[in-house]
Amino acid sequence: MAVRTSLRRFELPFLGKAWIAAVFAVVLLLLGVALALSNERSVANEQARRATVQAEILAGSVSAALAFDDQPTAQEYVKALHASPEIEAAGIYDQNGALFAGFADSGGPLPKHGAPHDPRVEKGRLSVAVPVAQGNLHLGTVYVRTIVEPWTRRASRYVAIGIILTLAALLIAVLGSAYSAASAAYNSLQRETDARERAETALRQAQKMEAMGQLTGGVAHDFNNLLMAASSGVELLQRSDDPKRRARLVQGIKDALDRGAKLTQQLLTFARRTQVKPEVIDVGVRLQGIRDLLDRSLREDVHVDFMLQDDLWPIEVDPAQFDIAIVNIAVNARDAMPRGGEIDIEAKNLPGGLEGEDAVEIRVVDHGTGMQPDTVEKAFEPFFTTKGVGRGTGLGLSQVYGFARAAGGMAYIESTMGEGTTVCLVLPRCMRSATQEARRAAAKMPDLKNEKLLVVEDDDQIADMLQQMVSELGGRAIRASTAEEGLRLFEKESPDGIISDMVMPGEWDGLELVRQVRRRNADVPVLLMTGYSSAAAQAREEGYTLLEKPFNLEQLARGLSDVFGARA
């Protein structure tokens, strides 16, 4: 139905444009006809004028011959007119109207009697008669008759012009319709491209969700474990008075919570709906970054072993897609080992390994069931799956393949039944070095020197925690629970810096608050906090520093030193 509607929409402008061309063609033809008619009239007028002038010239020169009865001279003058091909007869008449001299080639003899008359057309012939005079003397009449070009000959001339005009009109029509056809084709191509782009975006999202789905079970399990660790730790903490034991328990709880925070953060990064945005990454650092995620999301009986070459070359890929690809391969490896086992993730430099260019090779090796050769062939096809209903969508490995191709590299599978499978990614080396951000050493703790920080946060618990963290870092905190209150406090207390949540109840969000603050004082350090918010991208675009929740003291310290450092 949608297709039909769009088709109809496609035809209407096409027809409209063709009509315009047709109208132009018709107008051109009408113009041609009008031009021919006006030309015809002016030609007739011109001919009459020419005949009259010829007659007047003859009348002027023949006056003496008429006056003094010199017939030979008069005849000589008339003969001069004979040279003009269109003049078929000319006569000189004396004052009594009697013929004095003249000739008539065709179209009948000269009139017997001569008298002046205006140009007139009779039987396809134009005749005119003008008086001959000298001073006051009326001496006679000169008569001139010319052939008017026959209608048929004129028509044939106009037919030639008409053919040219028609061809021109036809050309316009053809060009017009060709143009509209081309523009229709272009529009349809444009729509096709748009649809394809949308489909590709949807496919990427689906692939991501597939990976997410695969992960969720493991993550939930892991979360359950760490929640249990934390809650039992708290329970034990309440019962114990031994400071050593209490310290160990607190550390245990903290570790469990840290892990939870890390997991959530990774999942959020994973699920974020992002455009494909290539960055230069260090494969080793990136793989280490998802190690925990893999360790915990696979099964307990599956162990991931990393074998990474030192000094791996950087590659330029979309980091999120890279993570997803590795997770997808690992999940497949896990499923190939129902009784558990080891997954080896290896990475090494491959000089000249990709069509003669340097590349980095990442191999994910399992020691599972292996695949049949025909399964290997189809493994990269979208929606191809060997898993049971509800367990897989068949999008995982297709994402891997799509990712590798998009990055300018390739992906392939080696598999032996009963021995295991190796999925291999070969990605081109990037000559720029990886962003240093990932390796950046932890910033040293900033000394806030009793500086006053405005904390804007609607959640009481988090606000309380933040205030404590700020005092831990040596500063003083004042709190506002809405953006509006924050601005009032800012104006009243003039704090040295602001830490604000992004999403808050009230008319303004955190972004609007910091905009207002910046309008009043462009230099004040501003740190924004966010969980998962679409406003985060906007805030980044406007150049604000963002701290992703959940964060620990060290991360807060780093964020604060960033914004205070920028001020200094």
Contact set with another protein (CB under 8 A): 61, 63-65, 67-71, 73, 75, 79, 82, 99-105, 134-137, 139
Element at 457 (helix H, strand E): none
Nearer to another protein (CB atom), residue 83 or residue 522: 83
Shortest spacing between CB 107 and another protein, in angstroms:
12
Looking at residue 36, its amino acid is A
The nearer residue to another protein, 111 or 119, going by C-beta atoms, is 111
Q: How far is the CB of 70 from another protein (least distance, A)?
A: 4
The gap from C-alpha 51 to its chain's centroid, in whole angstroms, comes to 71
Angle value at C-alpha 552, between 253 and 476, nearest 5 degrees: 120
Closest separation in Å from C-beta 68 to another protein = 5
* 420/288 Cα distance (integer angstroms): 24
- To another protein, the closest distance from the beta carbon of 169 in angstroms equals 44
Smallest gap, in angstroms, from Cβ of residue 140 to another protein?
12
- CB atoms under 10 Å from CB of 377, counted, come to 12
Pick 135 or 352: Cβ nearer another protein: 135
Nearer Cβ to another protein (79/488)? 79
What distance, in Å, lies between the first and last C-alpha atoms of the chain? 63
Element (H, E) at 361: strand 357-365
Q: How far is the CB of 102 from another protein (least distance, A)?
A: 7
Closest separation between CB of residue 51 and another protein, Å?
Answer: 19
Query: Closer CB to another protein, residue 104 or residue 406?
Result: 104
Q: Which residues contact 132 (CB under 8 A, 6 or more apart)?
A: 59, 62, 63, 66, 92, 138, 139, 140, 141, 142
Q: Which is nearer to another protein, 129 or 517 (CB)?
A: 129
Contact 200, 34 (CB under 8 A): no
The tokens describing 522, both together, are 């462009």
Type of residue at 122: E
For 67, the token pair is: 């006056």
CA 430 to chain centroid? 27
Q: Is 79 or 303 the residue whose CB approaches another protein more closely?
A: 79
* Contacting residues for 93 by C-beta, under 8 A, at least 6 apart: 99, 100, 113, 114, 115, 140, 141, 142, 143
Name the minimum Å distance from CB 100 to another protein.
8
Reading the block at residue 317, the tokens are: 């890929």
State which residue, 137 or 268, has the beta carbon closest to another protein.
Answer: 137
Distances (CA, A) of 107 to 122, 145, 146, 147, 513: 11, 9, 10, 9, 104
CB contact at 8 A, 497 and 451: yes
Q: Distance between CA atoms of 266 and 293, rounded to whole angstroms?
A: 7
Which is closer to another protein, CB of 89 or CB of 483?
Answer: 89
DSSP 378: H
| CA atoms of 134 and 132, how far apart (whole Å) | 7
Q: Identify which of residues 90 and 470 has a Cβ nearer to another protein in the complex.
A: 90
Q: How far is the CB of 93 from another protein (least distance, A)?
A: 12
The pair of structure tokens assigned to 143 is 């008569």
Q: How far is the CB of 53 from another protein (least distance, A)?
A: 19
DSSP label of 308: E
| Min CB(144)–another protein separation in Å | 15
Nearest residue to 396 (alpha-carbon basis) of 411, 415, 381: 381
Task: Please list, in sequence order, all residues whose beta carbon lies within 8 angstroms of the beta carbon of residue 45, skipping any fewer than 6 positions away.
Answer: none
Q: Which of 89, 404 has the CB closer to another protein?
A: 89
Q: What share of the chain is helix, strand, coil (3-state, %, to 5)?
A: 55, 20, 25
Query: Which lies closer to another protein via its Cβ, residue 141 or residue 481?
Result: 141
Cα distances (Å, whole numbers) of residue 512 to 168, 390, 507, 564: 63, 44, 9, 21
| Cβ at position 131, least distance to another protein in Å | 14
